[in-house]
């Protein structure tokens, strides 16, 4: 698979008053076409900042981000973000209108928007809810609809910033299932930011571990799908990653060591 | 319907209390006219009253449209550039506490006695609260909605019109309500203070004339019209807009 996104030596510094806070420090990695990549780390580790840099919402202070060889400068629909907040749908539009709004802005010209909107609602399991207003939906349905809207503009990269962080555990299982199916059907590349380790292991092919603004390691997740949390291979993989996360405080682990350690893991 | 009945009952109670006070005979009829004489003044003066009302509504309409356009422009531009935002915010600090009627002397000096001076006072009175509401509305847009708009590639005017405007609609609506009330108050107050020129004038001018000639029932008739128009606009226009927008979207509580 060819490389879709190249992040090289990206640094993002925030200025809060007189103090400078480093949000992301010299981070580099590649993401291949069609991959499902999770980014994990504790709150404030810079993982959301990194995602916002990739989206183009934040200007980076150093390094570069390229999508398909083109430099990322500003927000564009080819990298579309789904946020954690349950208020990201436009409340003055129905679900269908929300999707049509997005398609119309991006496509400009004519198209069978209504039919296409229905297709995307069906994709996320919301067929029949097109005429509902956002306030009439549960949290899980709102996030499904936000994903449908994001997909409707055919992004090359779907950026997800803890999209299920506000949902309860039951709803979360259901939307995980849905997201994996959508991923399989559309082949879209996904970067998924979360602080929930199990969520990352459930979903992704690759896990990037962040701490204090630095990329601490990249671990390939080769567990076969569907993944069951009770499987022993799942448990041992989870243990390994939490081990890495715990040792991160000592700052002793760099990417190289991690991939060496990862190579020793037997699945 | 029940709402309407209860409001009607409330007005009826007010009218009865009014009549009871009059019947005690403690106040001279010249100062405290009965409802009957007010009603007959309304009927006798209907042609004049309708003309005055239409005149008032027309200049308030023109003034309000001007003020809303200027306020929108100022709000959009405050979000476009930092310098402009500071200028607007400084202007707000200076102008907002100034009662519209207080600039009437200046308006008369600049525009002479007439419709243009009244229009100036109306625009001035409505503009600052409008900017205040619009600006607050734009600043309280959920950041996620704004960023979805940016993510779609919207910028500048397009982002303002397609996302910021509808997202801040609850504030815009309350701004329009305040602006409308201020415009009404300004038009009546301006005419009350200096009258009107060449027989051209609205309800304020009508009140002024009636008071001058001690036709107290006429004064009350004019006030009644002002109140009725206020109620009418609230229930027919603003409540209608509210039901079709922010209430339907549940972006306001209640």
Please state which of the ranges A110-119, A212-221, B127-136, B193-202 shows the lowest mean pLDDT.
B193-202
Q: Is A133 near chain B, with CB under 8 Å?
A: yes
The pLDDT value recorded for residue A258 is 41
Q: What's the rounded Cα separation, in Å, for the pair B185 and B200? A: 18
The pLDDT value recorded for residue A21 is 81
Please state which of the ranges A145-149, A251-255, B55-59, B81-85 shows the lowest mean pLDDT.
A251-255
3-state SS class at A135: helix
Q: What is the mean pLDDT of residues A220-233?
A: 90
Per-domain residue ranges of chain A: 3-78+156-264, 87-154
The pLDDT value recorded for residue A267 is 36
State yes or no: pLDDT of A266 exceeds 60.
no
CATH class of the region A3-78+156-264: alpha beta
Contact between residue A105 and residue A183 where contact means Cβ atoms under 8 Å apart: no
Residue of B nearest to A77 (CA): B152
Q: What is the mean pLDDT of residues B12-41?
A: 91
Burial of A261 (0-12, 13-18, 19+ CB in 10 A): middle
Q: How many CB atoms lie within 10 A of CB A24?
A: 29
Q: How far is A112 from chain B (nearest CA, A)?
A: 19
Pairing of strands A19-32, A3-16: antiparallel
Per-domain residue ranges of chain B: 42-249
The pLDDT value recorded for residue A111 is 75
- Local structure of residue A249 (DSSP, 8 states): G
Give A85's contacts in chain B (Cβ within 8 Å): 142, 144
Pairing of strands A62-67, A189-194: unpaired
**pTM of the predicted structure, to 2 decimals:** 0.87
Check B249 against A135: CB less than 8 A apart: yes
pLDDT digits (tens, 9 = 90+) for A239-265: 988 888 777 554 433 434 444 434 334
Handedness of CA B33, B34, B35, B36 (dihedral sign): negative
Q: Six-digit token pair at A167?
A: 């949902």
Bigger pLDDT: A30 vs A20: A30
Closest Cα to residue B183, out of B23, B12, B93, B65? B65
Closest Cα to residue A167, out of A231, A82, A80? A82
Looking only at Cα atoms, what is the longest distance across chain B?
Answer: 73
Chains A & B: contacts with CB separation below 8 Å: 62
The overall average pLDDT reported for chain B is 91
Check A133 against B245: CB less than 8 A apart: no
Q: What is the mean pLDDT of residues A44-55?
A: 93
pLDDT digits (tens, 9 = 90+) for B126-185: 999 999 999 999 999 999 999 999 999 999 889 999 999 999 999 999 999 999 999 999
Q: What's the rounded Cα separation, in Å, for the pair B17 and B10? A: 11
Q: What is the mean pLDDT of residues A225-251?
A: 81
Bigger pLDDT: A170 vs A255: A170
Sheet holding A3-16, edge to edge: A19-32, A3-16, A62-67, A70-71
Q: Which residues of B touch A (CB under 8 A)?
A: 142, 144-145, 147-148, 150-154, 162-163, 166-167, 169, 245, 248-251
User: Directed axis angle between helix B46-80 and helix B35-44, to 10°?
Assistant: 90
The pLDDT value recorded for residue A72 is 95
Q: Is A90 near chain B, with CB under 8 Å?
A: yes
The pLDDT value recorded for residue B1 is 66
Q: Is A83 near chain B, with CB under 8 Å?
A: yes
The overall average pLDDT reported for chain A is 89
Q: What is the mean pLDDT of residues A106-126?
A: 90
Mutate to test the interface with A, among B141, B146, B148, B150 (most CBs of A within 10 A): B148
Burial of A66 (0-12, 13-18, 19+ CB in 10 A): middle
pLDDT band at A133 (very low <50, low <70, confident <90, very high): very high
Cα B195 to chain centroid distance, Å, stands at: 20
Check A91 against B147: CB less than 8 A apart: no
Q: Which of B142, B152, B248 sits opposite A106 (nearest CB)?
A: B152
Q: What's the rounded Cα separation, in Å, for the pair A42 and A1? A: 30
CATH architecture of B42-249: Orthogonal Bundle (1.10)
């Amino acid at each position: 698979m060819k490389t879709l996104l190249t992040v090289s030596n990206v640094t993002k510094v925030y200025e809060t008053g007189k103090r400078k806070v480093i949000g992301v420090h010299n981070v580099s990695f590649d993401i291949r076409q069609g991959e499902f990549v999770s980014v994990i780390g504790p709150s404030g580790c810079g993982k959301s900042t990194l995602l916002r840099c990739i989206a183009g919402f934040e200007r980076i202070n150093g390094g570069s981000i390229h999508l398909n060889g083109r430099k990322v400068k500003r927000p564009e629909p080819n990298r579309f973000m789904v946020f954690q907040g349950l208020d990201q749908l436009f409340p003055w539009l129905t679900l269908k209108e929300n999707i049509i709004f997005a398609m119309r802005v991006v496509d400009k010209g004519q198209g069978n928007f209504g039919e296409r909107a229905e297709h995307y609602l069906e994709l996320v399991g919301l067929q029949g809810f097109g005429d509902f207003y956002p306030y009439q939906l549960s949290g899980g349905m709102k996030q499904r609809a936000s994903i449908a809207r994001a997909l409707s503009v055919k992004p090359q990269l779907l950026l997800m910033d803890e999209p299920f962080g506000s949902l309860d555990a039951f709803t979360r299982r259901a939307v995980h299932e849905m997201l994996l199916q959508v991923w399989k059907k559309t082949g879209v590349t996904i970067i998924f930011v979360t602080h929930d380790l199990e969520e990352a292991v459930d979903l992704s092919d690759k896990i990037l571990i962040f701490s204090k603004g630095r990329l601490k390691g990249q671990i390939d997740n080769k567990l076969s799908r569907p993944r069951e949390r009770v499987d022993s291979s799942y448990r041992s993989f989870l243990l390994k990653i939490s081990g890495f996360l715990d040792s991160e405080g000592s700052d002793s682990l760099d990417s190289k060591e991690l991939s060496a350690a990862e190579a020793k893991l037997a699945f | 319907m029940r709402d309407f009945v209860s409001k009607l009952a409330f007005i009826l109670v007010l009218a009865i209390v009014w009549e009871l006070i009059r019947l005690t005979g403690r106040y001279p009829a010249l100062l405290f006219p009965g409802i009957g004489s007010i009603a007959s003044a309304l009927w006798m003066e209907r042609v004049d009253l309708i003309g005055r009302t239409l005149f008032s509504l027309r200049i308030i309409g023109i003034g309000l449209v001007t003020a809303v356009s200027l306020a929108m422009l100022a709000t959009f531009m405050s979000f476009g550039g930092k310098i402009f935002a500071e200028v607007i915010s400084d202007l707000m600090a200076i102008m907002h506490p100034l009662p519209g009627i207080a600039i009437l002397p200046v308006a008369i000096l600049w525009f002479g006695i007439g419709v243009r001076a009244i229009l100036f006072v109306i625009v001035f009175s409505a503009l600052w609260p409008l900017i205040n509401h619009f600006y607050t509305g734009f600043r309280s847009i959920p950041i996620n909605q704004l960023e979805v708009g940016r993510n779609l590639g919207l910028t500048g005017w397009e982002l303002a019109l397609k996302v910021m405007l509808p997202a801040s609609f609850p504030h815009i609506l309350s701004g329009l309500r305040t602006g409308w009330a201020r415009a009404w108050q300004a038009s009546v107050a301006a005419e009350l203070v200096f009258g009107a020129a060449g027989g051209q004038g609205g309800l304020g001018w009508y009140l002024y004339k009636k008071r001058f000639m001690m036709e107290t029932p006429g004064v009350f008739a004019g006030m009644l019209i002002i109140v009725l128009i206020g109620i009418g606009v609230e229930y027919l226009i603003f409540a209608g807009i509210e039901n079709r927008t922010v209430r339907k979207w549940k972006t306001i509580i209640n």
